[in-house]
Amino acid sequence: MNFKKLLQLAVPLVFAATSAFAAEKPEKLHIGITAFLSGPAAVFGVPAKAAAEMMIEDINEAGGIGGVPLSATFIDEGAGGEALLAEYRRLVQDEGVDAMFASISSGNCNKIAPLADDLKILNIMWDCGTQRIFEENDYRYVFRTQSNATPEMLSAVLYLLKTKPDFKTIAVVNQDYSWGRDSWEIFSTALKTLKPDVEVVAEFFPKFGSPDFSTEISRLLALRPDVILSTSWGGDLDTFVRQASQRGLTNNSTLVLPLAESSLERLGDALPSGQIVGTRGDHYFLHPEKLSDPAFTGFVEEFKDATGSYPIYPVYHMSQALNAFKGAYEKAMEANGGEWPDKEQVVDAMTGLTFVGLGREVTIREDGQGVEDQLLGTTVNSDDYDFATLGQIMIFDGDQITTPVGKVSADWLKALNPDFIDAVNVDTFEQ
Amino acid sequence: MNIQLIALAFFDGVAYAALVFMVAVGLTLIFGVMRILNVAHGSFYAIGAYFTVSVGGAIFAAGYSHWLAFPLMMVTAALVGVVIGGPIERFLLKRIYAKEDVLQLLVTFAVFMIFEDVQRLIWGAQPYFDSSALTLMGNIEVLGISYTAYQLLFLPIVAVAVLIGLRLFLRKTLAGKLVQAVTEDREMATAIGIDADKVFLITFVIGAALAGFGGALASATTSVVPGMGADMIVLSFAVAATAGLGQVEGAAVAALLIGLGRSFAVYLMPELSVLVPYLIMLAVLLLRPEGLFGKQQLRKI
Chain A partners of B223 at a C-beta cutoff of 8 Å? 211, 235-236, 238-239, 242
* Alpha carbon B288 to chain centroid, angstroms: 23
Contact between residue A109 and residue A117 where contact means Cβ atoms under 8 Å apart: no
Alpha carbon of B226: minimum distance to chain A alpha carbons (Å): 6
pLDDT band at B226 (very low <50, low <70, confident <90, very high): confident
Confidence (pLDDT) at A342 = 92
* Model confidence pLDDT, tens digit, residues B11-62: 999 999 999 999 999 999 998 888 888 999 999 999 999 999 999 989 888 8
Q: How many beta-carbon contacts under 8 Å exist across A and B?
A: 115
Each residue's pLDDT expressed in tens, for chain A with a length of 431 residues: 465 665 565 555 445 444 445 678 899 999 999 999 988 888 999 999 999 999 999 999 999 999 999 999 999 998 888 999 999 999 999 999 999 999 999 999 999 999 999 999 999 999 999 999 999 999 999 999 999 999 999 999 999 999 999 999 999 999 999 899 999 999 999 999 999 999 999 999 998 888 889 889 999 999 999 999 999 999 899 999 999 999 999 999 999 999 999 999 999 989 999 999 999 999 999 999 999 999 999 999 999 999 999 999 999 999 999 999 999 999 999 999 999 999 999 999 999 999 999 999 999 999 999 999 999 999 999 999 999 999 999 999 999 999 999 999 999 999 999 999 999 999 999 76
Average pLDDT, chain B: 89
Q: What is the mean pLDDT of residues B265-272?
A: 86
pLDDT at B289 over 90: no
Residues from chain A contacting residue B270 (CB–CB below 8 Å)? 202-205, 216
Collapse the DSSP code of B224 into the 3-class scheme (helix H, G, I; strand E, B; otherwise coil) and give the result: strand
Q: Over range B186-214, report the average pLDDT.
A: 91
- Contact list in A for residue B53 (CB cut-off 8 A) is none
Give the pTM: 0.88
Using the Cβ of B273 and the Cβ atoms of chain A, whether some distance falls under 8 Å is answered with yes
Distance (Å) of CA B221 to CA A50, A212, B133, B279: 30, 8, 9, 26
Find out whether the peptide bond into A38 is cis, omega within 30 degrees of 0: no
**What's the gap in Å between the CA of A162 and the closest CA on chain B?**
30
- Mutation target for B interface from A214, A253, A387: give the one with most B CBs within 10 A: A214
Q: Would you call B223 and A202 a contact, using CB atoms and an 8 Å cutoff?
A: no
Q: Which residues in B lie closer than 8 A to residue A222 (C-beta atoms)?
A: 4-5, 8, 144-145
Chain B closest CA to A129's CA: distance in Å? 22
Looking at residue B1, its pLDDT comes to 63
Residues of chain A found within 8 Å of residue B218, distances taken between Cβ atoms: 211
Average pLDDT over every residue of B242-250: 84
- Asked if ipTM goes beyond 0.95, one says no
Q: Is A60 exposed, middle or buried (0-12, 13-18, 19+ CB in 10 A)?
A: middle
Q: What angle do CA A63, A65, A67 make, to 5 degrees?
A: 50
* Chain B interface, best mutation among A208, A212, A259, by max B CB count within 10 A: A212
* Per-residue H/E/C for chain A: CCHHHHHHHHHHHHHHHHHCCCCCCCCCEEEEEEECCCCCCHHHHHHHHHHHHHHHHHHHHCCCECCECEEEEEEEHHHCHHHHHHHHHHHHHHCCCCEEECCCCHHHHHHHHHHHHHHCCCEEECCCCCCHHHHHCCCCCEEECCCCHHHHHHHHHHHHHHHCCCCCEEEEECCCCHHHHHHHHHHHHHHHHHCCCCEEEEEECCCCCCCCCHHHHHHHHHHCCCEEECCCCHHHHHHHHHHHHHCCHHHCCEEEECCHHHCHHHHHHHCCCCCEEECCCCCCCCCCCCCCCHHHHHHHHHHHHHHCCCCCHHHHHHHHHHHHHHHHHHHHHHHCCCCCCCHHHHHHHHCCCEEECCCCEEEECCCCCEECCEEEEEEECCCCCCCCEEEEEEEECHHHHCCCCCCCHHHHHHCCCCCHHHHCCEEEECC
pLDDT reported for residue A209: 86
The rounded distance, in Å, linking the Cα atoms of B131 and B208 is: 23
Nearest chain A residue (CA) to B230: A209
The pair phi, psi for residue A190, each rounded to 5°, is -65, -40
Tell me, what amino acid is at B55?
V
Cβ within 8 Å, pair A206-B124: no
Q: A252 — contact with chain B (CB < 8 Å)? A: no
- Which residues in chain B (49-68) have CB-CB distances under 8 A to chain A? none
* SS3 track for B240-290: HHHHCCCCHHHHHHHHHHHHHHHHHHHHHCHHHCCCHHHHHHHHHHHHCCC
- Give yes or no for a contact between A335 and A341, defined as CB atoms under 8 angstroms apart: yes
CB A371 within 8 A of CB A402: yes
CA–CA gap between residue A143 and residue A372 (Å, rounded): 13
Q: Does B9 touch chain A (CB under 8 A)?
A: yes
- Chain A residue numbers touching B13 (CB-CB < 8 A): 215
Contact indicator for A403, A409 with CB cutoff of 8 Å: yes
pLDDT at B292: 85
- For residue B149, what is the nearest residue in chain A, using CA coordinates? A247
- CA distance to partner chain B, nearest, from residue A206 (Å): 7
Res B205: pLDDT = 95
Residue range B111-123: mean pLDDT, rounded: 91
